[in-house]
Amino acid sequence: MFSAKFSTIINRAPSSAQALDLVAKYLDSAAEQKRLHKLRLDPMLIQQISKVSTSSELAVLISLLTSAHILRRVVVVESPAGGGIAEFASAAAVPDSLHDYHRDVLMDVTPRDLRTVYVAES
Protein backbone atom coordinates (compact mmCIF):
# COMPACT_ATOMS: atom_id res chain seq x y z
CA MET A 1 0.00 0.00 0.00
CA PHE A 2 2.72 2.47 0.98
CA SER A 3 5.55 0.95 -1.09
CA ALA A 4 5.23 3.34 -4.06
CA LYS A 5 5.30 6.42 -1.82
CA PHE A 6 8.23 5.04 0.17
CA SER A 7 10.31 4.08 -2.86
CA THR A 8 10.19 7.69 -4.04
CA ILE A 9 11.48 9.12 -0.78
CA ILE A 10 14.03 6.34 -0.30
CA ASN A 11 15.50 7.32 -3.67
CA ARG A 12 15.63 10.97 -2.52
CA ALA A 13 17.14 10.15 0.89
CA PRO A 14 19.12 6.90 0.68
CA SER A 15 20.78 7.56 4.04
CA SER A 16 17.34 7.12 5.66
CA ALA A 17 16.45 4.00 3.68
CA GLN A 18 16.61 1.56 6.60
CA ALA A 19 14.49 3.73 8.88
CA LEU A 20 11.98 4.40 6.09
CA ASP A 21 11.72 0.69 5.34
CA LEU A 22 10.92 -0.07 8.99
CA VAL A 23 8.20 2.60 9.06
CA ALA A 24 6.76 1.29 5.77
CA LYS A 25 6.54 -2.24 7.18
CA TYR A 26 4.85 -0.94 10.34
CA LEU A 27 2.26 1.05 8.36
CA ASP A 28 1.64 -1.82 5.94
CA SER A 29 1.06 -4.15 8.89
CA ALA A 30 -1.39 -1.69 10.44
CA ALA A 31 -3.21 -1.41 7.11
CA GLU A 32 -3.44 -5.20 6.77
CA GLN A 33 -4.90 -5.40 10.28
CA LYS A 34 -7.43 -2.64 9.42
CA ARG A 35 -6.15 -0.39 12.22
CA LEU A 36 -4.46 2.29 10.14
CA HIS A 37 -7.28 4.81 10.70
CA LYS A 38 -6.89 4.48 14.49
CA LEU A 39 -3.11 4.85 14.49
CA ARG A 40 -1.66 7.83 16.38
CA LEU A 41 2.15 7.91 16.29
CA ASP A 42 3.96 10.16 18.71
CA PRO A 43 7.60 11.05 17.93
CA MET A 44 8.91 8.55 20.50
CA LEU A 45 7.00 5.71 18.84
CA ILE A 46 8.27 6.76 15.41
CA GLN A 47 11.80 6.68 16.84
CA GLN A 48 11.25 3.18 18.26
CA ILE A 49 9.75 1.88 15.00
CA SER A 50 12.47 3.37 12.79
CA LYS A 51 15.34 2.65 15.18
CA VAL A 52 16.92 6.05 14.54
CA SER A 53 19.29 6.98 17.31
CA THR A 54 19.38 10.78 17.34
CA SER A 55 16.81 13.53 17.47
CA SER A 56 18.22 15.05 14.28
CA GLU A 57 17.72 11.74 12.43
CA LEU A 58 14.18 11.62 13.79
CA ALA A 59 13.50 15.18 12.64
CA VAL A 60 14.74 14.36 9.13
CA LEU A 61 12.65 11.19 9.04
CA ILE A 62 9.47 12.96 10.15
CA SER A 63 10.12 15.74 7.65
CA LEU A 64 10.48 13.19 4.83
CA LEU A 65 7.29 11.38 5.88
CA THR A 66 5.20 14.53 6.15
CA SER A 67 6.49 16.14 2.94
CA ALA A 68 5.69 12.91 1.05
CA HIS A 69 2.15 12.95 2.54
CA ILE A 70 2.65 9.61 4.24
CA LEU A 71 2.09 11.09 7.70
CA ARG A 72 0.17 14.19 8.73
CA ARG A 73 0.87 16.19 11.88
CA VAL A 74 -2.05 16.52 14.30
CA VAL A 75 -2.26 18.51 17.53
CA VAL A 76 -4.30 16.72 20.20
CA VAL A 77 -5.81 18.53 23.18
CA GLU A 78 -5.73 16.19 26.15
CA SER A 79 -7.80 16.27 29.29
CA PRO A 80 -5.94 16.55 32.60
CA ALA A 81 -8.04 13.51 33.56
CA GLY A 82 -6.47 11.58 30.67
CA GLY A 83 -7.51 11.01 27.09
CA GLY A 84 -7.88 13.20 24.06
CA ILE A 85 -10.63 15.78 23.73
CA ALA A 86 -10.13 17.06 20.19
CA GLU A 87 -7.67 17.07 17.30
CA PHE A 88 -6.54 20.05 15.22
CA ALA A 89 -4.36 20.58 12.15
CA SER A 90 -2.13 23.07 13.98
CA ALA A 91 -1.59 24.69 17.36
CA ALA A 92 -2.91 27.96 15.91
CA ALA A 93 -6.27 26.26 15.25
CA VAL A 94 -6.73 25.23 18.90
CA PRO A 95 -9.33 27.38 20.68
CA ASP A 96 -8.65 29.01 24.04
CA SER A 97 -11.20 26.77 25.76
CA LEU A 98 -12.91 23.46 25.05
CA HIS A 99 -15.50 21.26 26.66
CA ASP A 100 -13.68 18.45 28.46
CA TYR A 101 -16.20 15.64 28.15
CA HIS A 102 -14.10 13.42 30.41
CA ARG A 103 -14.79 15.77 33.33
CA ASP A 104 -17.86 17.58 31.92
CA VAL A 105 -16.28 21.02 32.35
CA LEU A 106 -15.20 23.88 30.13
CA MET A 107 -11.42 23.93 30.37
CA ASP A 108 -8.92 26.60 29.45
CA VAL A 109 -6.44 25.06 27.00
CA THR A 110 -2.78 25.56 27.91
CA PRO A 111 0.36 24.45 26.06
CA ARG A 112 0.80 21.54 28.48
CA ASP A 113 -2.58 20.18 27.31
CA LEU A 114 -1.28 19.84 23.73
CA ARG A 115 0.41 16.79 22.25
CA THR A 116 1.74 16.33 18.72
CA VAL A 117 1.02 13.04 16.99
CA TYR A 118 1.21 11.84 13.40
CA VAL A 119 -1.50 9.99 11.50
CA ALA A 120 -1.19 8.05 8.27
CA GLU A 121 -2.54 9.63 5.13
CA SER A 122 -4.02 6.76 3.18
Give residue-wise pLDDT tens across range 71-82: 999 999 999 999
What confidence tier does 32 reach under pLDDT thresholds 50, 70, 90? very high
What confidence tier does 3 reach under pLDDT thresholds 50, 70, 90? confident
The C-alpha atoms of residue 19 and residue 121 are separated, in whole angstroms, by: 18
Give residue-wise pLDDT tens across range 5-21: 888 898 889 999 999 99
Residues sharing a CB contact under 8 Å with residue 113, sequence separation 6 or more, in sequence order = 77, 78, 79, 80, 107
Domain ranges of the chain: 1-122
- 75: nearest Cα among 62, 59, 89, 56: 89
Question: What are the b/e assignments for 76-112, b being 16+ CB within 10 Å?
Answer: bbbbeeeeebbeeeeeeebeeebebeeeeeebebeee
74 φ/ψ angles, rounded to the nearest 5 degrees: -135, 140
The answer to whether residue 122 scores a pLDDT higher than 70 is no
pTM above 0.95, yes or no: no
Instruction: State the pLDDT at residue 2.
Output: 74
